[in-house]
Amino acid sequence: MKMIKVNEWQQEQERLDMVTEKLRSAIVEIEPEVVGLRDQVTDFRKRFWEEVSINTSTHEDFEEAFYSIRQQEALLSERERSHQQRMQRLKSMKRLLPSPYFGRIDFQEDGISFSEHIYIGVSSFVDVDGLSFLVYDWRTPIASMYYDYSPGASAYETPGGRVEGEMTLKRQYHIGDGQLKRVFDTSVTIGDELLQQVLAQGANSQMKSIVATIQKEQNAIIRNDKTRMLIVQGAAGSGKTSAALQRAAYLLYKHRDKLKADQIVLFSPNPMFNSYVSTVLPELGEENMQQTTIQEYLVYWLGSTLQLESPFEQIEYILTSSSSPECEARRSGIHYKASEVFLHALQQYAVWLGKEGMLFRGIHFQDRELIAAEEIQLQFYSYDNTIRLANRVALLQEWILKRLATLERKEQKAHWVQDELDYLDNEQYAEAYRELLKKYQQEEEVVLHMNEQLLDDYGQFLGKEQHEEHNVDFAMQEIEELLRKMIVSGHYKQLRNDVKRFKFIDVIGLYDQLFSDEAAYRNMTNETTVPEQWTEICKQTKEKLSRLELFYEDAAPFLCLKECVEGTRRNTNVRHVFVDEGQDYSPFQFYFLKQLFPRASMTVLGDFSQAIFPQATNLSEEDSPLIKLYGQDETNLIRLVRSYRSTREIVEFTKALLPSEEIVPFERSDQKPHLIKVSGSAERAERMIEHLAELRAEGFESIAVITKTAAESREAYELLNSQSSETLRLITKDTLTFEKGTMVIPAYLAKGVEFDAVLIYDASSHVYDRESERKLFYTACTRAMHRLLLYTTGEWTPFIQSLDPNLYEVEG
Ligand SMILES: Nc1ncnc2c1ncn2[C@@H]1O[C@H](COP(=O)(O)OP(=O)(O)OP(=O)(O)O)[C@@H](O)[C@H]1O
């Protein structure tokens, strides 16, 4: 890495001035056009109806009106489109103006005698000739060399094939307000210098775009577009989330003709994380993708019948539960229900249900049973059993609806209908009259001739009065018949809707039935072996279900069973699914996502060392269920080992907490983690408040006191808040936004985010003692960018006791 010569600096500043000037004049030119087009569109909308002639006297007049409206619509949408396009251009030029580019490569293609200067920025900017790229978008194929190569032989892929040549220069710029601040020529990877500067900055309440300093291995993730599944196993702070967001921006650019932002979904670990990453895409000039959590999805698909435990309630249970047989059983149940063995068992269960054991609910109306559950069951098993379960259910649904239609007709003669009829008021009679009138009108010739589309779109032009002039005289009997029909139909509507929503299937009963004794379970699932604590697992699951509640670990299996029976519900609009913190999803949940988004590719990013939920999936193991999801050939696995978030001292400390993990720190140095032993909670509060003040004075703006559980967070918050003048924020599972400042937060909610300094509230052996909590402790410590402080009142957790003392400083 070297600084450039003075005359080169001058040339660069001149070029920058030239580009800035061109941007300015392009903005000046296009701005009035955009305003003009916007006004035209508004005006057009206002005058829309003035321009069309509506005459509805004859069928021909109707048709003419219809086509005149269509024409106006086409004109309007054309104007809207050009307004949108110019608006986008204007926005992208305005975004470029303060810093039009951040990089340059000089590239001489093989067989060509000159080298091209390629300046790279967040979007492209083309000169007035429409041909010369003054700035290339970082996502263009040619710009990929900036991230992938050092000067020397280099190449890039284009849709037309591979282009090879020689990179003669690679330069980085730091530009602010149109002025060159720093310029570096680089010979190795990009930007150690620039990256140093970026990483030395403080944490932010929003994640930053890393477009200027994307590393080669991250670029591979961003541009990987070959397989259906991309798995990224990356160490803490290796830029997985950053790369994922850049990848979304890349996909939106590459497939801009067919991919829209709402066709990409990001599954985040919690709602607060959603707020943390929500600005990256807009910063890059793209609309935000859909952001959600798996919990939101599960709740949505489960509907309102069952109350679902949240993943945070589950983890709190795990962290605070004892070693009693009941707790052991729940833990074992969580593991089992997340496993592929259970998925397979469920599939076998569905096969068994094809032969026997389906549970139905009878159809009831008022206090009568219209169709008995047994009758439904009989009908179901009368279908050919080679037909798929869900298809047989569809046939059954049709059968029930037909039966209901017959019953509905008969019902019209029932006494209760006559009773209701007697109590109807004039308005209801009048409505029946209007209904009959409508029916009559529909039979009229003019309406019959009317094109269906016309009827849908412009039915309102029919003008009621016109027809009300007809003096139609309906017989009272006819009106009453209609009223009976209306009364019964009103009551049956709910029944029909329930049938359409498969309420005649007792899915809760079907799931409950699975948790019978071992012999029955083995019989239903084709000899699946069960965990040791099966009886207790069954008891707990059934008890929960009886209260119409569902453990978090049961949600995905329950939905899979529901889908086996009712047929799969799909979202075919979504083309790409991102799953961040993927290690915390069970194989079952991945299976569920695959089913739900059949047309989507998937990018799963995670770190098995941060697997804090018991249902974790090892993303990169050879026989990982994730690799099996789409198969080896459709799966690409990339590993990231370089960690960018924390200083070398923090990475070395945290890395040693794991048995064996390849993590390479980025060369950025600061203090070693500090271990502070205190005599009790009073001293702990005193020291922590002192440290918080010192950290603030040093300029750190984002500081977290990390605890193990929500209860410990509350305790810490109350203790510190009562004695400190600092404003503290208590983060709970319901917190929606991420803000700078000092906060108290349980480790499992701090997933994915980072802080300038982290204070581990209690790193004692009685808090982090189980081996299963090692990863949680590691996750908490790896949130720190610049400083890490740990406190204890007694013995240190065994994870620290076994560390080399050179890795930390001890404060008395
Ligand atoms: N190429 C890069 N240039 C600049 N900063 C980077 C780069 N890669 C990562 N970073 C920074 O490193 C930090 C960690 O990145 P990120 O949160 O994406 O990592 P992660 O792998 O998702 O972490 P974790 O698994 O621990 O949550 C962020 O501050 C990010 O801006």
State if residue 198 touches ligand 1 by the CB under 6 angstroms criterion.
Answer: yes
Beta strands in 580-623 (DSSP E): 601-606
Cα–Cα separations (whole angstroms), residue 374 to 359, 504, 542: 9, 11, 24
Mean pLDDT, the chain, as a whole number?
Answer: 86
State if residue 639 touches ligand 1 by the CB under 6 angstroms criterion.
Answer: no
Residue 539 has pLDDT above 90, yes or no: yes
Residue 640 · residue 235 · CB < 8 Å = yes
276 alpha carbon – ligand 1 mean position (Å): 13
- Tell me the average pLDDT across 450-469: 44
CA–CA separation, 409 and 348 (whole Å): 41
What is the DSSP secondary structure assignment for residue 368, as one 8-state letter?
E
Q: What is the pLDDT of residues 668-716, one digit of tens each?
A: 888 999 999 999 888 999 999 999 999 999 999 999 999 999 999 999 9
State if residue 779 touches ligand 1 by the CB under 6 angstroms criterion.
Answer: no
Structure tokens at 674: 């500090």
CA–CA separation, 484 and 420 (whole Å): 9
- Which stretches of 547-630 are DSSP H helices? 552-566, 587-596, 625-630
- For the CA of 782, the closest atom of ligand 1 is 26
CA–CA separation, 308 and 297 (whole Å): 11
State if residue 192 touches ligand 1 by the CB under 6 angstroms criterion.
Answer: no
Calculated CA dihedral for residues 739, 288, 611, 616, nearest 10 degrees: 140
CB half-sphere exposure, 670, CA atoms < 13 A? 24
Candidates 207, 202, 234; CA nearest to 220 is 234
Residue 164 has pLDDT above 90, yes or no: yes
Structure tokens at 711: 């209860």
Q: What is the pLDDT of residues 372-402, one digit of tens each?
A: 999 999 999 999 988 989 999 999 999 999 9
What confidence tier does 488 reach under pLDDT thresholds 50, 70, 90? confident
Structure tokens at 357: 């054991």
- Tell me the average pLDDT across 220-228: 91
State if residue 148 touches ligand 1 by the CB under 6 angstroms criterion.
Answer: no
Closest CA to ligand 1's atom 28 = 645
Neighbour tally for 367: CB within 10 Å: 5
State if residue 609 touches ligand 1 by the CB under 6 angstroms criterion.
Answer: no
Q: Which amino acid is at 107?
A: F
- Tell me the average pLDDT across 59-83: 75
The set of residues, in sequence order, having a beta carbon less than 8 Å from that of 416 and lying 6+ positions away, is 366
State if residue 581 touches ligand 1 by the CB under 6 angstroms criterion.
Answer: no
State if residue 239 touches ligand 1 by the CB under 6 angstroms criterion.
Answer: yes
Cα–Cα separations (whole angstroms), residue 42 to 67, 91, 244: 22, 20, 38
Q: Which amino acid is at 552?
A: Y
- Backbone angles phi and psi of 597, in degrees to 5: -120, 75
211 alpha carbon – ligand 1 mean position (Å): 12
State if residue 209 touches ligand 1 by the CB under 6 angstroms criterion.
Answer: no
- Give percent above pLDDT 90 in the chain: 54
Give the pLDDT score at 55.
61
- Tell me the average pLDDT across 467-474: 47
Candidates 171, 101, 126; CA nearest to 30 is 126
Candidates 193, 102, 198; CA nearest to 143 is 102
Residue 576 · residue 258 · CB < 8 Å = no
Give the pLDDT score at 468.
43
- Tell me the average pLDDT across 646-671: 89
- For the CA of 783, the closest atom of ligand 1 is 26
CA–CA separation, 487 and 479 (whole Å): 12
Window from 245-249, 270-274, 335-339 with minimum mean pLDDT: 270-274
Residue 186 · residue 170 · CB < 8 Å = yes
Q: Tell me the pairing of strands 133-137 and 125-126.
A: antiparallel
Among 644, 667, 738, residue to substitute to test ligand 1 (most atoms within 8 Å of Cβ): 644
- Tell me the average pLDDT across 360-371: 91
CA–CA separation, 638 and 749 (whole Å): 26
- For the CA of 752, the closest atom of ligand 1 is 27
Q: Tell me the pairing of strands 728-730 and 642-643.
A: unpaired
Binding region for ATP: 234-241
State if residue 582 touches ligand 1 by the CB under 6 angstroms criterion.
Answer: no
Calculated CA dihedral for residues 689, 691, 695, 701, nearest 10 degrees: -40
Q: What is the pLDDT of residues 711-766, one digit of tens each?
A: 999 999 999 988 877 789 999 988 888 888 999 999 999 988 999 999 999 999 99
What confidence tier does 458 reach under pLDDT thresholds 50, 70, 90? very low
Q: Tell me the pairing of strands 133-137 and 116-121.
A: parallel
CA–CA separation, 581 and 113 (whole Å): 49
Structure tokens at 230: 């991309």
- Tell me the average pLDDT across 582-606: 92
Q: What is the pLDDT of residues 91-136, one digit of tens each?
A: 889 989 999 999 999 999 999 988 999 999 999 999 888 788 999 9
Candidates 351, 295, 357, 371; CA nearest to 581 is 295
What is the DSSP secondary structure assignment for residue 355, as one 8-state letter?
T
pTM for the full model?
Answer: 0.84
Closest CA to ligand 1's atom 25 = 236
- For the CA of 753, the closest atom of ligand 1 is 27
Residue 462 has pLDDT above 60, yes or no: no
Q: What SS3 state is found at 740?
A: coil
Residue 263 has pLDDT above 90, yes or no: yes
